[in-house]
Each structure stands twice: as structure tokens, then as C-alpha cells.
Homo-oligomer: A and B are copies of this chain.
Amino acid sequence: MSLASSVLEGKRLALARLLSQIENNHPDGQAALGDLFPHTGRAQLIGVTGAPGTGKSSLVNRLAFYYRNPPEGEPQRKVAIIAVDPSSPFTGGAILGDRVRMRDLSGDPGIFIRSMAARGSLGGLAPTTASMVQVFDAAGFDIIMIETVGAGQAEVDIARLAHTTLVVEAPGMGDDIQAIKAGILEIADILVVNKADHPGVENTERALRSMLELAHPAPRIFKHHGHFERVESPQANPDRDEAWLPPIVRTIAIKGDGVPELVSAINDHQHHLVESGERENRDRARLQAELDILIQDNLVYRWRKSVSDAQYREILESLIARKISPHQAARDLMNGGHGT
């Protein structure tokens, strides 16, 4: 039986093996993903990001626990968690509190947790995460949470994979940190003030609220790669983002306080996405961005095979000796290394 069929049947070992193949950029992993792809598109993708120390991991833990043990009348969901840490090894954040999570959730076959460190992924963090999301989606996980640390471009790219992005804050962070995180706020669908029993919670909430008011809801556009033109969906509604003002939800993750309210806000946002047609827009944009990156990588790979190391080195040396400019060097190499 193929790896893809085993994953579709819910075999955890097969799932784990496929995720490793994808993380290592193994060709078998890509082949299996091709078979699984028609089974994707059903899962609800939730991004969770925020600075270290905000209690993000505990919150993700609690959300997973809620979805696994819902109140009467709500359906139980299968939950996957992808914890991505793009920061450098020396911040020591790569473990991402897996042990904390495990205490409540281990042994539950309806949950699967996968950690990924920056250095462990070949071919880029965001493309690898996108592939992993597709595997979990095909394997029948209803909720896929993507957890990232920090505020860099890598986190933003990854958060954009999600349908609903939670940005987690905590009291006691100054004005400077808020300014740095302005870029992160732009991608927030829901703002969470965790550790809401800590002093300063009113200040944090007030600061967030004033930043939200400052932020004209910017159109949610994927980073433009190279010279690709954006193909707009005919259903695209240019006012779509004006219709959703990110709510601020207070939580105390270690006690579970505020988690039902947060789930309710997530459901509201999902409902908004479907009603406004924005869910389809985001799915389209996500797939197109993935396609564009794959084409770019393949073009470079194909071209690199057409130029010998000696040719590349010779032109690079002319550039470094300042005999030719970077644009001239690029032109020469594009013409097979024989000059113009």
C-alpha cells in the first residue's frame, strides 16, 4: 500500500514518515503529496503568533483541548498542531514547550503535534509548512493550528497560510515593542491578550485598541514574488477587509479562562470568511503564491544546470574585479555564460 493511501486511512506512523520526507525535501514526499492533494481544502487553518513569553503555546494547548473535549452540542474535532520556530538556535526556542503540551494531550489519537525548527527545513520554511498543512488536511484533521514565534517576515509569511490568524499579546510590554509589532498587527484577525490576570492588562488592551484604530484595515495581499502578475478572482470584493474589525479577547491560558470566548470569536471569523467570499479568496491567493514560488525555484534550478561551475565562477570573478557590473554579469550568465 502506498504511503499516501496509508495517510488517507489515518495511519499515524505513515503520517509521521511523510511529514519527515517533506521536511527533508525528499522526492517520495512530493509524489505522495501529489496523490493527497485532491483530498485537501476541508480543514480550518488557524495561525497563532506572538512574541516569546506571551503564553502562546499554552493557549494553543488549551484550544486543542477544547476542540477535543467540546461542550455538549458541539462536534468533536481532530486537531493538528504545527509549531514553527524560525528564530536562530541561540534563542533556545526550538523546543516550543512540547512537554507542557503533552501532559494534557498525549495518548489522544485525535491530535497530532509536529515541531519544526528553521534549520531543519530545506527549501524554505513557508513552503514546507504549506505542504505539511496539505498532508494534515488530506489526513482528515478538522483544525490545523500553525504556531510561530516572533515578528519577522518568516512568521508573517507562515501566518498568511491560515484562514484565521490570532496575534497573542501579554500585559507588561512597553510602547516600543508595540511599534515593532505593527507589522504583525496588520495580519491579525483576532487579538488575544493572554495572562489577563497580570497587572497592566488595561494598558495593553488600550494600546492595542488605539493601534487598531490607527490601522486602516490594509488589503490582505500576498507578497509579490518576482515579476508575476496577480490574477484577480472575478468574485474578489475590494472592500472585503473593511468588513472585519479584529476583536480583542482576554484569556488566562494556564487556567483555561476565556478559551470558549476565543473559540466563539474564531467561529465568527470563519463565518465571516465564508459569507464574504474571503475564504475562497484566501485559498486562491495561498495556492497561487505557492505555485509562483515553485516555478521560481524550478527556473533557477533548471538554469543552474545549464551553466557550468567554471562559467559561473569566471563571470563572478569579472564582477568582483569590477570589470563588469552586476547587471552585465547577470546578462552574460543568462546567455549561457558566453558574453553578449
Contact = CB atoms under 8 A, between A and B. Distances in A.
Interface residues of A, number: 77
Nearest to A326: B290
Q: Quick one: which of A225, A226, A228 has the most chain B CB within 10 A? A: A226
A284 B329 CA distance: 14
Interface in A291-336: 291, 294-304, 309, 312-313, 316, 319-320, 322-331, 333-334
16 contacts: A30-B327, A37-B325, A38-B322, A38-B323, A51-B180, A52-B176, A87-B183, A91-B182, A150-B183, A151-B151, A226-B304, A231-B309, A284-B320, A287-B326, A291-B326, A295-B334
Given A87-B183, A294-B330, A53 B176 contact: yes
Given A53-B175, A319-B287, A304 B214 contact: no
Interface in A85-111: 87-88, 90-93
A243 interface: no
Contact of A327 (B34, B218, B284, B322): B34
A179 interface: yes
> Oligomeric state, in number of copies?
2
A161 to B, nearest CB: 13
Given A33-B327, A229-B304, 12 more contacts: A51-B176, A53-B179, A88-B218, A151-B152, A172-B174, A177-B177, A226-B300, A231-B312, A284-B320, A294-B327, A294-B330, A296-B296
Nearest to A297: B226
Contacts of A174: 172-174, 177
Chain A, interface SS category: helix
Interface string A162-200: 000000000011111101101100100000000000000
B330 A90 contact: no
A215 interface: yes
A283 interface: yes
A304 to B, nearest CB: 5
Contact of A303 (B91, B290, B295, B304): B295
Interface string A22-65: 00000000100110011011000000000111000000000000
